[in-house]
Amino acid sequence: MDLGLKDTVVLITGGSKGIGLACAQGFAAEGARVAIASRRREHLEQATATLQAVGVQPMVVAADLGDPEQAARMVREVESRLGPVGVLVNSAGAARRTPPAELTAAHWRAAMEAKYFTYIHAMDAVLPGMALRGGVIVNVVGTGGKLASPTHLPGGAANAALMLASAGLANAFAPYGVRINVVNPGITATQRMQEGLEAEARLAGKTVEEILQQKLRALPLGRVAEPQDVADAVVFLASRRAGYISGAVLAVDGAAVPMVV
């Protein structure tokens, strides 16, 4: 199946590891021109080595997307070298998992800064150009925005806000040929999963391994997601084959959260 992504300029925030890195590999396999962004240059260097090992030469940009000026600079740099951004994938930023008894106002603010505003700043930077020529945004968010988890309340609140913002922007920019969708991963084999397990273990007074086995028993498919599972959904939603899908929230959680709203 030709997804129609050849030579499309794809910018992936948080593209240096985990789901973002898997997305970079997926888009490159479709012939896209890939740029990845991350705050840390050492992570970008590691990601570049990983991608080069499979024949991919990405453009890399170091940027702290908590700063709207750096987000705008990121987009300018990518477009000056590769051309107009056709697809933005937001996968940067994550709120720390924290047991509820440890929460302070600072945790709630930090979650919004880390997850919500990083995505908003990146979207703000690409939307004016996309409004002139069309484009696609896929926001990798998380099921915590639909189902409250005691150790992920600030992050879940940021996720819920992102889902609403994504749906609203999809509606507003649809007349300009812009599609915006959300992918909600469930538990996925990344460093963020490990942080979540550690927080839940502290809350429950159990070991990390006990919490992991408990979660595995509860997963209908019997395994956690791999980053590539999520990336496959992202690549499809960004493609022409998904040309009439916008404002959607796609769960990639193996039916772990069986909700219809």
* Residue 260 domain flag: no
* Residue 200 domain flag: no
pLDDT number for residue 151: 85
Q: Measure the CA–CA gap between 185 and 140, rounded to whole angstroms.
A: 7
pLDDT tens digit sequence for 119-131: 999 999 999 999 9
The rounded mean pLDDT for the chain is 94
pLDDT number for residue 251: 96
- Beta bridge partner(s), residue 135: 178
**Residue 261 pLDDT > 80:** no
pLDDT tens digit sequence for 148-181: 988 889 999 999 999 999 999 999 999 999 999 9
State the CATH number of the domain containing residue 238: 3.40.50.720
SS3 55: coil
pLDDT tens digit sequence for 134-149: 999 999 999 999 989 8
pLDDT number for residue 91: 97
* Residue 212 domain flag: no
pLDDT tens digit sequence for 23-57: 999 999 999 999 999 999 999 999 999 999 999 99
pLDDT number for residue 61: 98
* Residue 85 domain flag: yes
pLDDT number for residue 257: 84
Q: Measure the CA–CA gap between 232 and 210, rounded to whole angstroms.
A: 30
Give the number of domains in the chain.
1
* Residue 131 domain flag: yes
pLDDT number for residue 194: 82
* Residue 151 domain flag: yes
Domain region containing 163 = 9-189+227-252
Q: Measure the CA–CA gap between 149 and 151, rounded to whole angstroms.
A: 5
* Residue 195 domain flag: no
pLDDT tens digit sequence for 84-116: 999 999 999 788 888 899 999 999 999 999 999
Q: What is the DSSP string of 91-106?
A: ----PPP--GGG--HH
pLDDT tens digit sequence for 193-242: 887 788 788 878 889 899 889 888 889 999 999 999 999 999 999 999 99
* Residue 257 domain flag: no
Q: What tokens were used for 38?
A: 């991350």
Average pLDDT over residues 8-29: 97
